[in-house]
Chains A and B, each alone.
Chain A
């Protein structure tokens, strides 16, 4: 754990120097989504007694957690590994592979939590009745962990920067718009609904939305997200073992 913290420490040291810039850049997209979908398209729409704005905010939080955790862990690792080669320094240090994997993922988790909390603070100004409970925090943390480990896995498998961009276009981008973020899955045809349930962001959105709106919690979604987290963690471990001696 101490080794994982050491790896995280380097990112915290860098983040400490430029957190205002980081927050502004990562909050830009979710705030634009909020303005465009929540205030623009969704004004006046009501979903089972909930305003569209209140409906969409937890989804955007899940989306923000996904994007910033994935990029915070994955994109940075991809650049460190393939361009700067500084990941080799970690591989040559007497650090266990689980600690190395965890340390790299925690970088994404910290960035994901920071951005999500930043957006949440903005969102609470608009929708002060959102319910921020322990399950909400747990769901948010699990969401950040899941996508941070997915980022690490993608970065370890990628053979070029283009591979990471392709992963973003083919996996993250469809998830952004289809993962239950902006619309209710109840309105979707059965076949497509089943396909959308195969996306981790769908379950993150469902769980965070239920927690934020103080509705019965879909624990099945939490467990599925947990399963995705376990799969990405094991995948990352295997990929790391494969590349190290």
Chain B
């Protein structure tokens, strides 16, 4: 499968501080890829570089074979973006926001109307088409942003923290929408600091820490590298320590060998464990 994103040697510095540090990454067409990392890891900066909003200090980015730095005008039609911030025009209705985006992408009048109706139906906002942005819920705003990003039928969709600030029910609704878009052929590149989001959605995950890609693979592969089963040992002196095992039987043998098993928890490992082992800190900071 050909790559829709090809990043090589990407660096971004602000006042001498490296925010993205030597990033090399490829994302295949049709993939649902996730960038996992805590706030400040460099996820949003990377997306801003990929979407022509920020100039990299050095390195090369190809989107669908087009060099982002050399031909930003052409590359802009290749992707859609759902930003972390609510970037809808608040003076307009949901339908007008989509209309504006369609106009900026030079979609003809008749086609605009057709696509707006289709997409509002797709994100289940047809009944709220004429509502002003400030009069709808956070989940509806997020779905409107997704519809807007899809109006020019991009091959690639960037989602920067797509469910941040949403309640659990709305988050799952957005997840369903993301899965559906991906199953219909759109490549999705999302950033998140929610472990469960990366695990639930992504076929492959890149773990970013201080601007560096420190792990890459499917959630299962990353867990297998660490150990599929985690044992938490809660000790008065040292706090909680973690041990990882390839399977339950080896974890059970380890627990049986312990002198005191009162404060021991055995569970499946997750991407949080992977992140903690790699970086020594949690994805969502204390």
Interface residues of A (CB under 8 A from B): 2-3, 6-7, 9-11, 13-14, 17, 80, 84-86, 88-96, 244-245
Chain B residues, CB < 8 A from A86:
87-89
Say whether B51 faces chain A, with CB atoms less than 8 Å apart.
yes
Asked if residues B92 and A14 are in contact (CB atoms below 8 Å), the reply is: yes
- Residues from chain B with Cβ under 8 Å of A85 in the complex: 83, 85, 87
Q: Which residues of A contact B76 (CB under 8 A)?
A: 92-94
Q: Does B224 contact A (CB under 8 A)?
A: no
Specify the chain A residue showing the minimal Cβ separation from B51. A92
| A94 interface neighbour in B55, B83, B104, Cβ under 8 Å | B104
- Quick check: A93 and B101 within 8 Å, CB to CB? yes
Smallest CB-CB separation from A97: which chain B residue?
B73
CB within 8 Å for A94 and B89 given contacts A6-B104, A10-B96, A245-B53: no
Q: Which of B69, B74, B86, B104 has the most C-beta atoms of chain A within 10 angstroms of its own C-beta?
A: B104
Name the contact of A10 in the complex, choosing from B55, B73, B85, B89 (C-beta under 8 A): B89
- Are B81 and A92 in contact, with the CB atoms below 8 A? yes
Closest Cβ of chain A to B270, distance in Å, is 32
Whether A88 pairs with B53 at a CB distance below 8 angstroms is yes
- Chain B residues whose C-beta falls within 8 Å of the C-beta of A80 in the assembled complex: 89
Q: Would A90 and B104 count as touching, CB distance under 8 A?
A: yes
Can you list 20 residue pairs at the A/B interface with Cβ under 8 Å?
A: A3-B104, A6-B100, A6-B104, A7-B104, A9-B103, A10-B92, A14-B89, A84-B85, A84-B87, A86-B88, A86-B89, A88-B53, A89-B83, A91-B52, A93-B101, A93-B105, A94-B73, A94-B106, A244-B72, A245-B69
Closest A residue to B91 using CB positions: A14
Q: How far is the CA of A60 from the CA of B111 in the complex (A)?
A: 46
Q: Which of B185-240 contact A (CB under 8 A)?
A: none
The smallest beta-carbon distance between A161 and chain B, in angstroms, is: 16
Q: Are B96 and A13 within 8 A (Cβ)?
A: yes
Choose among B83, B90, B91, B104 the residue that contacts A93 (Cβ–Cβ < 8 A): B104
* Interface set of B (CB-CB < 8 Å, partner A): 51-55, 68-69, 72-74, 76-77, 81, 83, 85-92, 96, 100-101, 103-106
- Find out whether the CB atom of A89 lies under 8 angstroms from the CB atom of B101: yes
Q: A17-B91, A84-B88, A89-B87 are in contact. List 13 more A-B contacts (CB 8 A).
A: A6-B100, A6-B104, A80-B89, A86-B89, A88-B87, A90-B104, A92-B52, A93-B101, A93-B104, A94-B105, A244-B52, A245-B52, A245-B55
Residues of B contacting A90 in the complex (Cβ-Cβ under 8 angstroms): 104
In the bound complex, residues from chain B placing their C-beta under 8 Å from that of A11 are 91
Give, as a whole number of angstroms, the nearest-CB distance from B208 to chain A: 21
Q: Are A84 and B106 in contact (CB under 8 A)?
A: no
- Docked-complex contact A84 and B52, CB < 8 angstroms: no
Quick check: A9 and B100 within 8 Å, CB to CB? yes
The docked-state distance in angstroms from the alpha carbon of A9 to that of B105 is 14
Partner of A13, one of B51, B73, B92: B92
Across the interface, which residues of A come within 8 angstroms of B77, CB to CB? 94
CB distance from B163 to the nearest CB of A (A): 18
Q: Which residues of B contact A93 (CB under 8 A)?
A: 76, 101, 104-105
